Amino acid sequence: MTINHYIFLSVALFCIGIIGVLTRRNMIVIFMCVELMLNAVNLLLVAFSKMHFLSASAFDAASKAGTDAQLFVFFVMVVAAAEVSVGLAIIVMMYRNTHSVDVNFLNRLKH
Amino acid sequence: MNPNDVFITFPELLIWFPLLSGLVAFFLTKGDTAKRWAVISSFITVAIVAVSFFFTDKNYFHYNNVSYVWMPSIGSSFALMYDGMGRMLCLLTALAFPLAFLTTYNTNYAKPNHFYGLMLLSQTGLMGVFCAMDALVFYFFWELAIIPIYFLASLWGGERRIQVTFKFFVYTFVASLLLMVGIIYVYLHTPDHSFALSSFLKAALSPGQEKFVFWLFFAAFAVKMPLFPFHTWQPDAYEQAAAPVTMILSGVMVKMGVFALIRWLIPVFPHATGVFTPIVIGLAVTGMVYASLIAWVQDDLKRLVAYSSIVHVGLMCAAIFARNQSGVEGVMLQMFNHGINIIGLWIVVELIESHFGTRKISRLGGIAASTPVLTIFLVIIALANIALPLTNAFVGEFLMFNGVFQYGKWTAAIALITIILSAVYTLNMVQKVFYGNTNALTASGEGMVKRSAAVALTVVVILILLLGIYPKLLLDLTKDTVNEFISRVAGML
Amino acid sequence: MVQLFDFISIGTLNIPFAFQVDQLSAIFMLIITGVGFLIHVYSTSYMHEEASDQYARYFSFLNLFVFSMLLLVLGANYLIMFIGWEGVGLCSYLLIGYWYKNKDFSTAGRKAFVMNRIGDFGFLLAVFWMIQHFGSLNFGDVLGKAAGMPLNDKVLVGITLLLFLGAVGKSAQIPLYTWLPDAMAGPTPVSALIHAATMVTAGIYMIARSNILYTLAPVTQGVVAAIGLATAIFAASIALKQNDIKKVLAYSTVSQLGYMFLGLGVGAYTGAVFHVMTHAFFKALLFLGAGSVIHAMHHEQDIRKMGGLKKQLPVTHWTFLVACLAIAGIPPLSGFFSKDEILSATFSVNKIYWVIGVLGAVLTAFYMFRLYATTFLGKFRGTEEQERHLHESPRAMTVPLVVLAILSAVAGFIGIPAVLGGTHQLENFLSPVFAGSVALQHAAHPDHTTEYLLMGISAGLSVLVLLYAITRFSKKPDMDSPGGLGKLLENKWYVDELYDMIVVKPLHRVSVLLNNVAEKMGIDGVVNGVGKFVSYGSRQLRLLQNGQVGVYILIMVAALLILFIIQLFVL
Amino acid sequence: MSSIILSALWGVVMMFSGIFLKKKSLAKYIALLGIAALLTVNFLEYYNIWYIYADIRQMLKFTSFGQVFNAIVFACTLLFFLLNASEFEAMGPDVYEYYALIFFVLCGVGIAVSFNTLLMLFIGIEIITIPLYILAGSEKRNLRSNEASIKYFLMGVFSTGIMLMGIAFLYGATGTFYIDSMNLGVESLRPMILIGIVLLMVAMSFKVSAAPFHFWVPDVYDGAPTAVTSFMATIVKVASFVAFLHLFDTAFGKMHADWQLLIALITAATLFIGNITAVFQQSVKRMLAYSSVAHAGFMMFALWSLNTFAREGLILYAAAYSLATIGSFAVLAKMKDYSLEGFNGLGKTQPLLALTNTIFLLSLTGIPLTAGFFAKYFMLMGAVKSGTHLWLVIFAVLMAAVSAYYYFRVIQAMYFKEGNAQVTPVSPVFRITLCVTAALIILLGMFPGLLLKGLYY
Amino acid sequence: MGITQLLFWLLTTLTLGSALMVIFSKNPVYSILWLIITFFAISGHYVLLNAQFLAIVNIIVYAGAIMVLFLFVVMLMNLNMPSSPLKNKWLMFAGVISGGSLLLVLVAALKDTEAMRNGILMQTGDIGLIHNLGKVLFKDYILPFEISSVLFLSAMIGAVVIGKKA
């Protein structure tokens, strides 16, 4: 498998996430689509990590190249978790006040 | 003279004194105190300028030049110079304020402390502009002069004052910002990366760059003067602002633009000036005829004076761009004289308006019968406005027209048409307002000229006659500036 | 030559405030101060009805006028001359509009000033041109440098034409003459002094002063002569049908000025100056006489309402008659000599001009005696009220009349031409001033026989016409308004209306148009339009902010897309 | 480093004091103490008197630029606290928590201005934004506040996704997250690098509210409690800008020519939309929101020119803009009516507020003698110096003139219009702080060197 | 085509398919379930790439904790009916178009990148093992690790502040 396969896969996944964000009205689903985008990034990072490991290990068998990307993914997950906790709290707060999770419902602030 | 012996220099004094007294005036809330304070302060300023005339010699260099390090990192210093032209314009600035204050001494403005405070602050800005030798300092004062005027014109004046002043402000602000870009551009091309005028003069600009930056500078100055067709703010602003503000606006502030052409535009962009001279002079001359014609059909005294001011300024601009000794000397004279004359006209207009409550020419008439004193003053000032010999404006206009003539015969011929038109509209106004029989409105002219206003008018008339008969006073004062200017731009045509 | 102080001194250009007295200015000074004195005396009485402050105003203006006029003739350079030039214009303006409460009067003053300004336009351009070309304005420098220039040099023609435009304005020639008849709105002594004797001759003075320039520019001379002649005959034709006593005199002044210009145009500088002098005497006399009549008639100026004043106003009558004879060119009164000098010079240049000139002289005789006959002869046609109050004017008014009458009668003797056995003292006196021109001209004087003939023709015709006019108008003045050509003449060829129609009104309309369209819609419109456009843009642009997160993100994605395309494929 | 640690710690301190101290009014004193401590620590570190050293593997790099900027941030926050203490108390019961969140944001700011790896950038930005999601929604019962919070959140996480994608591509092309050692020269990987740069540019533009990624700004600024808006619009925004500049300068500076045009386009769009849209606003708060967008346009010049002037200018701009905006938001917060009419006659009823507000607005317009002037001046100077595309500079000044239009409408309302502007009671401390803020603006307007000198210590 | 390739294509299909199902499911609950499947598929990819630690974390954190949280919220709000109506037509259309073009643009830009035709060493290398990652995380990445605690702290405070009844 070449890196291109992974790139295209990630990009596709990323764009599916974007399309989801653009087409759905349910806030929770939109949020999920964003998570999809983040996962696309994670996948890409891991693939790149292996790619760089491959090219580095050709010179140095004990190379640690690529570790950083995997740790980056780890931190992305950390942040994502934090975001989810805050985001869901906000959505719940909104739901409490309006009984809706429809983004189109948010239109008091405009112009 | 050792620089260390100098305690304070004239330009500094002229800038800081009005500033301080202006700030003090804000706190004089009780009754007439602010008014009195302002009058006294303005007289002291006149005195300072008067004293400064005894220190013109080269030996007193350190009394007239200042340079403090301000922002060394970008090469700007707080540099001021008090040369002949600056001295003359400072004198005009100094004189304009007491005249304005005296004229309206019997008018009670709401919140006098703010009014007089702001007036004095605008004086600071004007003085700064005329003395600045550093582009950044110049720009600073250029803008600072406008801010107090903005408030003054918006707070005290006619019904439409707010939007009119706003238009004026935004319009000049746009132009100033372009100037700022221009200044930056030139600055970046100076050999030593400095804002000093001397470095600007050495800026290494290619002809193409010059042509471009020229317009950035020119726009700002043209709007301020104002040159046709950038004048749209002016009649409205003059019409709506309170009398003292209008006096300052037209008497002094207009000179900022003219002054800047001489000091900052042409010497810095000699090449572009050469290229664009026909366009600028064309605009100026067109504007002169255009404004004359429009002045003819105005029914509002203030608008009429406003358009006549456009005519005069157009001539100054044309004469400057003609770039010969005669023209520029004429401009020097005329900068001062136009200031005096137009202030005189405003005084008359203000007296009429405050007494009769209208400025409509069609509603006035026959004032000569009820107020002969005012008529005498007015006729003299009106004659000065149309540059009759032995009034101050004549020599200036003569020299300027001569300068334009040396540039181009036909140009001068077209420009000269305005001396006919100016007679038409000025005398038309004099006739309609002052002659004829009094009507119900104007019959009550008794006592409309208060003593303070009479003093102001007398000063104006004395200056008109003095400088009309002996213009050498100003010619000698500004000779060095003109010679330097001419030697710098000569051969660039 | 006296130099007071440096007036303007910049670079190489030096214009001092300097005076110069020579023969030419001396003559003018004499006229100004002499006639001026008489008129002051006359005025003390004529104006005694005015309130004291107005009286003071009158005299201050009058003296300011004398000051300016002296400045004009004494100035040692064109600029000082111009100062006086403008100064007299100003005084004329002030004095015409002296009774400022009358709108028409002040309008007349304004008109005079504006017309003069049109002249100044030319004068100033000429001055600038002189500065450019000669580098100086001193008469000595300019005339001296000009003397070395070739004939009909473009610069000279240009300068002289422009100077002549100034003279046309000041001396009321076609096409700028219309202000002078209107100027009669001023008090009569003013008309006498300014609009007859002195100020209007400033143009002649100026051209005489620069005679060398004109001599070197024959093209201009042709123009001057043609315009002078046209004015002479044109104004005379109008004078034929005027019924206002002062209007008749005014048109006659215009006409006489035309003669002077004719003289200048044909190179008879001395003749022109001579005519200035004689004209000053008899025209001042005529005006003062008219003033006396008007005074007696209680400000009635229409000659149709006068008549038969001979008895009540004897002094006025006799002096008026002398003046009429003088202006009609009846020998040996002064007008004969001066006019004849001009005409004979004209004859030697152009015969047709001479014929027209004589025709003008004849017309002069006709309308002057029409005026004389209608006013003084026949029966009184005014109201009884007026008749009861008819009286001779006081001494202060009659004495100047008498003095002027004497002068009118005898002034001609200082210029008796050689052909009549005289030495022409005036010519000798003025010869230093005109020496340059005379040297250049080599004018072929007509021989003596021709001269006698010419004199005879003009004088004879004048006498005939004079007698006809007296007989006709003393009996039956033309009371009813004429038709056809007469009507055209009565209405001054409708020139004022024509000017109004082709210059003033269109210009005014253009101004209104500029004010309403170019100014308000064009220039204001553009600036305000920018403002409106911004606020319109603002209103539209904020609709983009529609509150929908979906749309916001969509725009973001679209922008991202565009940035990608630009970055990856365009650049 | 020490200020990052201290701000995080002080957040915890605030949190715990919230548990032990019940009185709301004490919170501000503790917060002020914290800010004072932060300022002190920052100064000590700046002058190398006392600092914490830890082996952080070059993940953060501390420069004088960052420290000067931190000082500005802390000073502004100090003023912000002084001016908005009562607003915080009015916002809800959890005052201590709000302060704690703000300290966490400050910690994030510290990271975002001194990061040296993309990871720290990412974490820094997230630490800044996550508390803001909450602060924006802190008026829980207020639907506008809720809406602001939700909108901010949804768009914020979306932009996070974009940013991460950019980071991933850059990593793929260069094999490192360290911005000072990125090898951008591999020609065959150019598309990946460019994609990464564009994605990062978009994400950062979103954070700094540059058009057309600004859409959250008006709504969120409008809906959030005024004090929070004030904080977001100033400190957070300029910190994002510094991060933006730092990233693009250090990491992609070598490829400046490649992405300069995109920045130019974004700048132009930002200036245009921000200024033009602000003209028609009737609510001053919303107008200030748009003006904040407009100012982003000016600050973008720093990225466009990427020279010394740009960096100096950004520092000045950060200070000038933050001071003025904090000030005018503080005045706004005291108004009973946020609409333009609500300001009518303020000059008469509250001369001091009106005067200081005028100074703030003049500074925002960029009138000389105020700090705003030199801020703009340096930005334009940098831009002109970079040579090409002078049209953008001209366009910018024209837009600055438009900005005069809407700022001066407020001045007009305050001074020239008849009216009786109502304000909530203001404390003496508030007045004094306003005056200090205005004085600082004028001081910087006369002597910008005071601040710039710090950069070259 | 070896087993690895086969697995890759299988997982890819699953990933993309279930991702599409996420956005096309009317019912949010189904979306969540499909998302969980996507996460599992991605974890499969991680395993293929020998990043076992991330695979595990992905399943535990994402599929386990986060998605359960989502599910929980959805159930709590009683949104488990296919109620969510779609946005208006043209907006959806525009969304799909722009998302699709984005994909197109990216693919077009990247497809020619020669140097990226490298194979990836699958199921080799031990950098993805917890023992390796842990060492690096706690030595080199101590700072971000500590800092993320601040992040969590603020998220926690936020969740509490927002979540508790006012």
Mean pLDDT for the stretch of residues A40-67:
85
Identify the helix (H) or strand (E) that includes residue D195. Answer: helix D190-207
* DSSP conformation letters of C525-551: HHHHHHHHHHHHHHHHHGGG--S-HHH
The CA-CA-CA angle for residues D285, D288, D294, to 5°, reads 155
| Residues of chain C neighbouring D292 (CB-CB closer than 8 A) | none
For B81, B137, B464, C531, D457, the CA distances from D446, given in Å and listed in that order, are 20, 10, 40, 32, 21
Confidence of residue E9 (pLDDT cuts 50, 70, 90): very high
SS3 for B78?
A: strand
Q: Do A22 and C545 touch (CB under 8 A)?
A: no
Among residues E81, E106, E130, the one where a domain terminates is E81
Contact with chain A for residue D143, Cβ under 8 A: yes
Do C365 and C271 sit in the same domain of this protein?
yes
Domain boundary among C430, C458, C490: C490
When pLDDT is cut at 50, 70 and 90, the band that residue D169 belongs to is very high
Q: Which residues pair with C393 in a beta bridge?
A: none
Residue C478 and residue C517 in one domain = no
- Secondary structure tally for chain E: helices H, strands E: 7, 0
Residue E129 has pLDDT above 90, yes or no: no
Specify the DSSP class assigned to residue C392: P
- Residues forming beta bridges with residue B99, ordered by sequence position: none
Q: Select the residue from E43, E131, E162, E165 to test the A interface by mutation, using most A Cβ atoms within 10 A.
A: E162
What is the per-residue pLDDT for D457? 66
Do residues C160 and C146 touch, judged by C-beta distance below 8 A? no
pLDDT digits over D282-328, tens only?
Answer: 999 999 999 999 999 999 999 998 888 888 999 999 999 999 999 99
Quote the domain boundaries for residue C240.
Answer: 2-490
Query: D97 — contact with chain A (CB < 8 Å)?
Result: no
**Across the strands, what pairs with C302?**
C244
Q: Comparing B315-324, C401-410, D381-390, which segment has the lowest mean pLDDT?
A: D381-390
What CA–CA distances, in Å, run from E20 to A36, D123, D426? 10, 30, 56
Which residue, C461, C490, C519, sits at the end of a domain?
C490
Q: Chains E vs B: touching, with 3+ CB pairs under 8 Å?
A: no
DSSP alpha helix (H) spans, B249-366: 254-260, 270-296, 301-322, 325-356
Contacts of C330 (CB under 8 A, 6+ apart): C336, C365, C459, C462, C463, C466
SS3 B208: helix
In chain B, the N- to C-terminal Cα span, in Å, equals 40
Confirm if D35 and D74 have CB atoms less than 8 A apart. Answer: yes
Is there a contact between B326 and C10 (Cβ–Cβ < 8 Å)?
yes
Angle among Cα D33, D37, D40 to the nearest 5 degrees reads 140
Same domain, E76 and E89: no
Which CATH number does A3-106 carry? 1.10.287.3510
Query: Which residues are CB-neighbours of C480 under 8 A, at least 6 positions away?
Result: none
Please tell me which of the candidates C542, C547, C557 has its beta carbon nearest to residue A109: C547
C87 and C57 co-located in one domain: yes
For residues E72 and E32, membership in a common domain is answered with yes
Query: How many Å apart are CA D194 and CA D181, to the nearest integer?
Result: 17
- Rounded to a whole number of angstroms, the distance from the CA of E7 to the nearest CA of chain D is 24
Residues above pLDDT 70, as percent of chain B: 98
User: What is the full DSSP assignment across chain E?
Assistant: --HHHHHHHHHHHHHHHHHHHHHH-SSHHHHHHHHHHHHHHHHHHHHHTT-HHHHHHIIIIIIIIIHHHHHHHHHHTT--STT-----HHHHHHHHHHHHHHHHHHHHHHTT-GGGG-B--TT--STTSHHHHHHHHHHTTHHHHHHHHHHHHHHHHHHHHHHS--
Among all residues of chain E, which has the CA nearest to that of C554? E95
Tell me how far apart the alpha carbons of residues B416 and C124 are, in angstroms, rounded to a whole number.
8
What pLDDT, on the 0 to 100 scale, is given for residue E116? 57
Q: Is the pLDDT of residue B375 over 60?
A: yes
Q: What does DSSP say about strands C2-10 and B76-81: parallel, antiparallel, or unpaired?
A: unpaired
> Can you give the pLDDT at residue B55?
84
Q: Can you list the positions of beta strands (E) in C171-219? A: none
Structure token pair of residue B238: 């003059």
CATH number reported for the structural domain that contains residue E2 in this entry: 1.20.120.1200
Q: Is residue E15 domain-shared with residue E36, that is, in the same domain?
A: yes
Q: How crowded is residue D86: how many other Cβ atoms within 10 Å of its Cβ? A: 19
Q: Provide residues of E within 8 Å CB-CB of chain D.
A: 106, 109-110, 112-116, 140-144, 147-148, 150-151, 153-155, 157-158, 160-162, 166
Instruction: Judge contact between B352 and B359, C-beta under 8 A.
Output: yes
Q: Considering only alpha carbons, which residue of chain A is nearest residue D143? A: A97
Residues of C in contact with E101 (CB under 8 A): 561
Distance, in Å, from the CA atom of C287 to the CA atom of C195, rounded to the nearest integer, reads 10
Last residue in a domain, options C490, C519, C551:
C490
CA geometry: angle at C329 spanning C324 and C334, to 5°? 85
Q: Given this model, what pLDDT does residue D187 score?
A: 79
| Residue E125 Rama label (left phi>0; alpha psi -120 to 50; beta) | left
- ipTM greater than 0.85: yes
C83 plus C231 within the same structural domain:
yes
B251 and B92 Cβ atoms separated by less than 8 Å: yes
Please name the residue that has the structure tokens 């679209």. C558
User: Are the beta carbons of B177 and D405 separated by less than 8 Å?
Assistant: no
Tell me how far apart the alpha carbons of residues D212 and D216 are, in angstroms, rounded to a whole number. Answer: 10
Cβ-contact C394, C43 below 8 angstroms: no
Mean pLDDT of each 10-residue bin along chain C, 571 residues long: 82 86 90 91 87 86 92 91 91 88 86 90 92 88 86 89 92 88 86 86 91 89 92 90 87 91 89 90 91 84 82 87 89 85 86 90 89 85 79 85 89 81 81 82 71 85 88 75 76 84 88 87 86 89 87 93 89 72
Distance from CA of C543 to the nearest CA of A (A): 6
Instruction: Tell whether A106 lies on the interface with C, counting CB pairs under 8 A.
Output: yes
- CB-based contact (8 Å) between E100 and chain C? no
Q: DSSP readout, C433-471?
A: HHHHHHHHH---PPPHHHHHHHHHHHHHHHHHHHHHHHH
Domain total of chain C: 2
Counted domains in chain E: 2
Would you state the structure tokens that stand for residue B243, as one six-digit string? 């009398």
If asked whether residues E58 and E116 sit together in one domain, one would say no
Please tell me whether residues E75 and E87 are part of one structural domain.
Answer: no
Which residues of chain D lie closer than 8 angstroms to A37, CB-CB? 158, 161-162, 164-165
* DSSP-assigned letter for residue B360: B
In Å, how far from its chain's centre is CA D342? 26
- C-beta atoms of B419 and C121 within 8 A: yes
d(CA C419, CA C447): 9
Q: Are the C-beta atoms of residues D35 and D84 closer than 8 Å to each other?
A: no
Burial group, residue A60, by CB count within 10 angstroms (0-12, 13-18, 19+): exposed
Residues 53-92 of A with CB under 8 A from E: 53-55, 57, 64-68, 70-71, 73-75, 77-86, 88-92
Q: Is residue C554 part of a domain?
A: yes
User: Taking the domains of chain A in order of start, what are their residue ranges?
Assistant: 3-106
- Examine the domain organization and report whether C377 and C280 are in the same domain: yes
Size of interface A-E (CB pairs under 8 A): 239
Which residue matches tokens 């004028």? D442
Residue C413 lies in a domain: yes
**Tokens 């967008």, residue located:** D293
> Could you tell me if E66 and E89 lie in one domain?
no
**Which residue has tokens 């005249």?**
B99
Query: Which tokens hold the place of B125?
Result: 């800005």
Residue C54: inside a domain:
yes
Residue pair B128/B17 in contact (Cβ under 8 Å)? The answer is: no
Q: Is C34 helix (H, G, I), strand (E, B) or coil?
A: helix
> Six-digit token pair at C388?
């009861």
The enclosing H or E element of C103 equals helix C103-134
Distance CA A68, CA D77 (A): 35
Distance from CA of D324 to the nearest CA of E (A): 29
What are B432-478's pLDDT values in tens digits?
A: 888 888 887 777 767 778 888 889 999 999 999 999 888 888 888 88
Same domain, E35 and E101: no
Q: Is C546–A111 a contact, with Cβ atoms under 8 angstroms apart?
A: yes
Residue B493 has pLDDT above 50, yes or no: no
Q: Chain-wide mean pLDDT for chain D?
A: 91
pLDDT-derived band at E119 (thresholds 50, 70, 90) equals: low
Q: Rounded to the nearest 5°, which phi and psi values hold at C14? A: -135, 115
Residues in a beta bridge with B360:
B300
| Cβ pair C300, C244 in contact under 8 A | no
Does D271 score more than 50 pLDDT?
yes
| CA distances from residue B160 to B157, B237, B239, C294 in whole angstroms, order as listed | 8, 9, 9, 55
The 10 Å Cβ neighbour count of residue D215 is: 27
Segments forming the whole domain that contains residue E97: 83-166
Give CA torsion, residues B463, B469, B472, B474, to 10 deg: 20
E14 and E46: one domain?
A: yes
Report yes or no on chains B and C touching (3+ CB pairs under 8 A).
yes
Kindly state whether residue C496 falls inside one of the protein's structural domains.
no
Cβ-contact D377, B143 below 8 angstroms: no
Residues sharing a CB contact under 8 Å with residue D387, sequence separation 6 or more, in sequence order = none
